[in-house]
Amino acid sequence: MIEFEEALKIILSREVFPEAEEVELSCSINRVLAQDAVSDMDMPPFNKSAVDGYACRRSDLADELKVLEIIPAGQIPQFRIKENECSKVMTGAMVPEGADCIIMIEDVEVLSSDKIKFTAEKTSDNICYTGEDIRLGDVVLKKGLLIKPQHIAVLASVGYSRPKVYRKPKVNIITTGDELVEPHQKPDVGKIRNSNAWQLIAQCEAMNVSVDYSGIAPDSKEETLVMIRKALADNDVILITGGVSMGDYDYVPDVLLEAGFTFYFKSVAMQPGRPTLFSSHKSGKFCFGLPGNPVSSFNQFELLVKPLLYKMMGHVYKPVVLHLPLAKDFHRKKSKRLNFIPVLLNPEGEALPVEYHGSAHINSLNDAYGLMSIPIGTTEIKKGDIVNVRPV
Ligand code: AMP
Ligand code: MG
């Protein structure tokens, strides 16, 4: 059994070779940039009005101003502003030559069809100056960035309609267990519904990773081997849940050996999540054996699988860890493993452990804001002490 940090180090020390492809901008969410994005223009590209108002000279603010024209957004001004002159401008319109401020419509009295007067005490410039946000040639987004909606706005603004991103790894999911039926079925006596597969598929999809599902492998070496071999042919990563532990029917390690996998570790000092296995195939593909219990499988995907998938997508994953005060005293008897406890955020902003009966308690995560980690060796944490919480 190895510790979590060691397991993560082993996983992240695997060499991977992400390839790039171009995709439509609209499909680039949650993909990773495979190129620096360089701006082909200044932003804004011209001095732009930040408000609806009148473009004029600051030195004329005490006087009546003659209105020369109306300048809508997208149009080129026809007149230069000279002494005691102004032009009406819309938000986003080009500021006419000669003007050094835009007075807001709210601060203006209209005297006649072409005369106005500034009525406030002072005004800001209300001008967004050429290039103040982005300069032509600026690297606006760096290679390796995980693309979020706000980055898509930046890519759109600087003309990346088909950004180059790294190829998605192909993940295949296999669940094991004679006791499992699929969600549309009513389980007979002694059976339960397969929740892991659907949870893992969703976890992959939330990352915009390609995911395929092989189905439920019965607790049989032969049938599990057939499924693993088939999944291996066409995928980069296999996630197989259940059958990894010490039970009589936990065949996954044997079957992976037979399929040609080499193990890096077979159990991790984590609670939940101890029976977690990581292996690679000579073809360069990877396989995680994840615990059968759904909370463990969820956590191990977040904590160990995700960093590898991101690495395969060309992204260095740096999960957020918050330091929050604990809402009530915490106690545990055993402290040999790194413990992850689901917590919610109470109105005081403290981490409050939710009711949690262990790794099969699937609905314990319903209201969880994150996972609080309790280090090896720690049995007691007092209310108000700072704990590490990883949002999930
Ligand atoms: P195992 O590691 O195969 O012994 O499974 C550990 C526990 O997780 C057992 O109680 C299984 O019934 C349960 N389990 C295994 N696979 C799944 C699954 N796909 N969905 C829900 N529970 C599962
Ligand atoms: Mg099983």
Architecture of domain 322-391: Beta Barrel (2.40)
- Rounded-to-integer distance, Cα 366 and Cα 364, Å: 6
The answer to whether the CB of 224 is under 6 A from ligand 1 is no
| Ligand 1 binding pocket mutation candidate from 176, 193, 196 (most atoms within 8 A of CB) | 196
Q: Is residue 226 within a helix (H) or strand (E), and if so which, with residue range?
A: helix 221-234
- Select from 241, 244, 249 the residue to mutate for testing ligand 1; criterion: most ligand atoms less than 8 Å from CB: 241
For residue range 250-285, list pLDDT tens digits in order.
999 999 999 999 999 999 999 999 999 999 999 999
Q: Which fold does the domain 48-128 belong to in CATH? A: Molybdopterin biosynthesis moeA protein; domain 3 (2.170.190)
How many CB atoms within 10 Å of residue 1? 13
Q: 4-17+168-312 architecture in CATH?
A: 3-Layer(aba) Sandwich (3.40)
- Which residues of the chain fall short of a pLDDT of 50? none
List all residues 6 or more positions away from 63 whose beta carbon is below 8 Å from its beta carbon: 84
- Ligand 1 touching residue 243 (CB < 6 A): yes
| C-alpha separations of 97 from 127, 135, 206, 256 in Å | 12, 21, 50, 73
Q: If you measure from the C-alpha of residue 205 to the centroid of ligand 2, how many angstroms do you get, rounded to a whole number?
A: 25
Q: CA angle, corner 32, sides to 31 and 34, nearest 5?
A: 130
What SS3 state is found at 48?
A: strand
Is the CB of 289 inside a 6 Å radius of any atom of ligand 1? no
Which residues have their alpha-adjacent CB atom under 5 A from ion ligand 2? 177, 242-243
Q: What are the structure tokens assigned to 141, written together?
A: 């987004």
Residue whose CA lies nearest to ligand 1 atom number 17: 292
Q: What is the CA radius of gyration of the chain?
A: 30
| Kind plus residue range of the DSSP H or E element containing 174 | strand 170-176
Residue located nearest, by CA, to atom 15 of ligand 1: 292
Determine if ligand 1 sits within 6 Å of the CB of residue 253: no
Instruction: Determine whether the shortest distance from the Cβ of 215 to ligand 1 is under 6 A.
Output: no
Residue whose CA is at the smallest distance from ligand 1 atom 22: 293
Taking alpha carbons only, the member of 328, 336, 334 closest to residue 372 is 328
Mean pLDDT across the chain: 97
pTM recorded for the entire structure: 0.93
Question: C-alpha angle 257/259/260, rounded to 5°?
Answer: 65
Q: Which uninterrupted H or E stretch holds 157? A: helix 149-157
Q: Report the SS3 class of residue 300.
A: helix
Helices vs. strands in the chain: H and E counts, helices first = 7, 28
- At 56 the pLDDT is 98
**Residue 389 pLDDT:** 98
CA of 247 to the centre of ligand 1 (A): 12
CA 151 to the chain's CA centroid: 12
| Tokens read off for 305 | 């699988």
Ramachandran sector of residue 48 (left: φ over 0; alpha: ψ -120 to 50; beta: rest)? beta
Pairing of strands 338-345, 270-271: parallel
Cα dihedral sign for 29, 33, 34, 39? positive
| pLDDT tens digits along 66-87 | 999 999 999 999 999 999 999 9
Q: What is the pLDDT of residue 250?
A: 94
How far is Cα 70 from Cα 105, in angstroms, rounded to an integer? Answer: 13
Ligand 1 binding pocket includes 277 (Cβ within 6 Å): no
Ligand 1 atom at shortest distance from the alpha carbon of 195: 20
Tell me which CATH code domain 20-43+139-166 carries: 3.90.105.10
Sign of the torsion angle spanned by Cα atoms 345, 349, 353, 355: negative
**Predicted local distance difference test score (pLDDT) of residue 300:** 98
pLDDT at residue 13, as a whole number: 98
Residue 325 preceded by cis peptide, ω within 30? no
